[in-house]
Amino acid sequence: MIPRFEPDGNLPKGVHQATLGELRARFGVGSARRKWLMKRLEEIVELVKSTGRLERVVVWGSFVTSKSFPGDVDLLLVMDRDFTVDGLDPETATVFDYTQARIAFDSDIFWAKSSIGEETLSLWLETYQQTRDFKPCGIVEVTIE
């Protein structure tokens, strides 16, 4: 469940679990910008799920705030330890190329293999739970359906 916003418009600090449908209902409504970004996020998730190697999706930044017009979608994709970009179709491969993904999806997509370990992933998630001015905020982990 995604909690209410704090007075500053951010989620309370923590990693909040949600399905893609819950994320859409909460953050993919309102402005045309939000709706458009949500469609990009759904495209990304579907492309990455098609690899059969997706383990986790974490979303942070302005998209998971109360801002009417978020700048983009920031997300981390955690792939299984055996994942490789070799042999992916060009559209799916775009997701794993930071610059191309930025252009195609208006998203900052970071990814890693689960083999980097839970300690490193925890450090990353802790970092994402801070605003640019180092205030605590929440992030959303999307349950893979």
Q: pLDDT digit string (tens) for 66-110? A: 999 999 999 999 999 999 999 999 999 999 999 999 999 999 999
Tokens matching residue 90: 């060009």
Residues composing the chain:
145
> What is the domain partition of the chain in residue ranges?
17-143
Q: Mean pLDDT across the chain, nearest whole number?
A: 96
**CA angle in degrees (0–180, nearest 5) for 79-44-69:** 125
- 142: pLDDT strictly greater than 90: yes
Query: Can you give the pLDDT at residue 127?
Result: 96
In this prediction the pTM is 0.95
- 1: pLDDT strictly greater than 90: no
Contact 132, 8 (CB under 8 A): no
Tokens matching residue 59: 């979303």
Contact 120, 113 (CB under 8 A): no
Query: Can you give the pLDDT at residue 48?
Result: 97
Residue 138: partners with Cβ closer than 8 Å, 6 or more residues away: 3, 10, 11, 12, 13, 14, 15, 16, 64, 129
Query: Can you give the pLDDT at residue 144?
Result: 86
Query: Can you give the pLDDT at residue 32?
Result: 97
Contact 21, 143 (CB under 8 A): no
- 45: pLDDT strictly greater than 80: yes
The CATH class, in words, for 17-143 is: alpha beta
Query: Can you give the pLDDT at residue 145?
Result: 75
Mean pLDDT of the region 125-140: 96
Using alpha carbons, select from 140, 145, 143 the residue that is nearest to residue 27: 140
